[in-house]
Structure 1
Amino acid sequence: MPSSRVAVLGATGCVGRQVCAALSRDGHEVVAVARNHAPHVSAYPFLLMDVAATPAEKIAEVFLTHGVDAVVNATGGWAKLEEEMAYAHVRLVERLVEALTLTASAGHRPRLVHVGSIHEYGPVPAGVLIDESVDPRPATPYARTKLAGSQAVLAAGELDGVVLRAVNVCGPYTTQASFLGMVAARLRDTTAAEGLELSIADAQRDYLDVRDLADAVVKALSAPAAGRAVNIGRGVATDMRELVALLVAAAGFPPEALKEQDRQVESKGGDWTRADITLAGRLLGWHPRIDLPDSIRDMWLSLIR
């Protein structure tokens, strides 16, 4: 789309940070929105706002006042309690949808790009390629609340909304709430001589560099995808042990520094995820560019700088 003003909700998070950078590189003006300020958003106009706790009328007024042409919702993440996830994934999205409905009634209809999750589909048998026709059957609080938020966007016919169902991400500034982020933090705080004891899920999952996801968000701003859910991933299921081995190597540790423990791992998502990204290529003109070794290396470098 032509240069525009884009409000990025969750601008201080791992995904939001890269979305802001990608939008800026593409010539868009970014308005960063978050509950707390962070140094890396200082380059953009910043709005301190808890969207879930702000009246829809106020949100709509802010968007209209700032001349926002598009909104990206990159908020949310893992939390311990389902109530916390419902607040971030459902209440916030419903409030945002209400606000954008008000702006539409005022003659201003920004495109909404909502970052959902591949886990909204729920567990699928190993080997299944997950396309957008799969009937969502989420099995965890995270997946259930993410699906409810995505459905709120897709059900609002008066909105110009697109849902990107993203796979797990890695890459720079990956949150330590994620498995790989946790492993990276533990590696940073140990030595090769000490080694790292770790339980690894017997799982294969689709992982995508967060910068590739940000690129998909930018392309979704102008793509003919209103009212659609589009899967975003690498289209490859990678064994979790392979991912950990890449991280151990990026940290400069020998393979034997990893001491795998034989304990059951509680999965926050499915044991198998592999996204069919055909629709993303057709509607968005998007394809992943960054391979996993480079993504994991950059993830490690961002942690130790």
Structure 2
Amino acid sequence: MRVLLLGPGGYLGRYVAEHLIADPSVQLTALGRGDDADVRFDLSTGSPGALTRFLNAVHPGVVINCAGATRGDARELTRQNTVAVATICESLRRSGCGARLVQVGCAAEYGPSHPGTSTSESAVPRPGGPYGVSKLAATELVLGSGLDAIVLRVFSPAGPGTPTASPLGRLADAVRRAMQSGENEVRLSGLGVRRDFVDVRDVARAVHAASLSAAQGVVNIGSGRAVRLRDAAAVLARVAGFDGTLHETDAPPVRIPLPGGGEPPAGPAAGLPAAPAVAPAAGPPSAYPYPDGCGAWQQADVRTARDRLGWRPRIGLEESLADIWMEAACRV
């Protein structure tokens, strides 16, 4: 199977490329803006005609789009996430290759969810920021293209390579800096939010499964569990061997028990083993910032991925956090 991967240098794209290369039945060609691509091409500025000529030359059976931007102003996000997908769809329509399109979307397309609920693919999207809007527009372009296409709405990816700007990457970097400087306190905000974390290597498996499947439409990719960032922070601190204080800047500070002391269990929704947890703050809830536009709660309904792709997550959050910490600890 000949596969064209768009965006091989991104956080998700790197792991999708590694997973596909490990499959001897896959002939992989990577197209992107970086030096890691076989062919240099900017989807946000390149013409559909140029991409069509390339598709006709390579004649892939599957096109996987992992390209895009997560940060920037509305104009930049629209260029990278929406205009680029319009170029892909138009090029595939013009081309005679008949390739299947696997578009990697995101949970930000849904926007905030009601606490305690799982978001299914039938939920009405209400993105809470320009990133989610740009990705939702891309999804609508794909679904309305008439192509053989599937959109994977990936919830919160975690694991090795997690960007330091992401919530878990920010946690790991803060703990690393504290330990390197000998400080016994880490100051953090927004730990009350709950997100559905899914390991990036499991996401790569889902992309591969989608490329082989006949399923179309939107499919959620997540763990099916909403984990409070506070609980993830406690597990990361234990993995790192940090026995200081995690101080919530929008809640009273809470002491992590020293090794040998009591270890209260993590919440059942987290699905995590016992860890030195950061207890929820007393009193009324704080107003947390939600830069991803997803509000205080997101949890995926992943039954469609199980039923239509035969996919289930395999890697637990503690393993993802351990790998995040290993990379952070080596950072100078």
Same fold by TM-score greater than 0.5 = yes
Q: 2:68 aligns with which of 57, 70, 76?
A: 76
Query: Does residue 45 of structure 2 align to residue 53 of structure 1?
Result: yes
Q: Which amino acid aligns with 2:43?
A: V
Q: Which amino acid aligns with 1:92?
A: A
Partner of residue 266, structure 1? 289
Q: Which amino acid aligns with 2:295?
A: G
Q: 1:265, CA displacement in angstroms?
A: 3.4
Partner of residue 170, structure 1? 158
Equivalent residues of 1:165, 1:229 under 8 A apart: yes
Q: Which amino acid aligns with 1:9?
A: L
Q: Which amino acid aligns with 2:319?
A: D
Whole-Å separation in 2 of the counterparts to 1:62 and 1:186 = 44
Equivalent residues of 1:78, 1:177 under 8 A apart: no
Q: How does 1:36-51 map to 2 (within 5 A)?
A: 36-37=34-35, 41=36, 46-51=38-43
Tell me the secondary structure at the aligned position of residue 29 of structure 2. Answer: strand
- The structure that has the greater radius of gyration is 2
Q: How many pairs are equivalent? A: 290
Per-residue CA deviations over 1:204-241 (Å, capped at 9, x if unaligned) read 11110000011000000121213x10011000010110
Q: 1:304, CA displacement in angstroms?
A: 4.0
Equivalent residues of 2:239, 2:322 under 8 A apart: yes
Partner of residue 224, structure 1? 214
Q: Which amino acid aligns with 1:49?
A: F
Per-residue CA deviations over 1:158-194 (Å, capped at 9, x if unaligned) read x111000110110010122312122223333332631
Tell me the secondary structure at the aligned position of residue 105 of structure 2. Answer: strand
Instruction: Tell me whether 112-121 or 209-218 shows the greater mean CA deviation.
Output: 112-121
Identity %: 35
Tell me the secondary structure at the aligned position of residue 265 of structure 1. Answer: coil
Per-residue CA deviations over 1:40-66 (Å, capped at 9, x if unaligned) read x4xxx6111111111111111112222
Q: How does 1:119-268 map to 2 (within 5 A)?
A: 119-157=108-146, 159-191=147-179, 193-194=182-183, 195-226=185-216, 228-254=217-243, 256-262=244-250, 264-267=287-290, 268=292
Give structure 2 stretches of 5+ with no counterpart. 252-286
Equivalent residues of 1:93, 1:152 under 8 A apart: yes
Instruction: Tell me whether 177-186 or 148-157 shows the greater mean CA deviation.
Output: 177-186
Tell me the secondary structure at the aligned position of residue 288 of structure 1. Answer: coil
Query: Does residue 33 of structure 2 align to residue 35 of structure 1?
Result: yes
Partner of residue 97, structure 1? 89
Instruction: Tell me whether 123-132 or 259-268 shows the greater mean CA deviation.
Output: 259-268
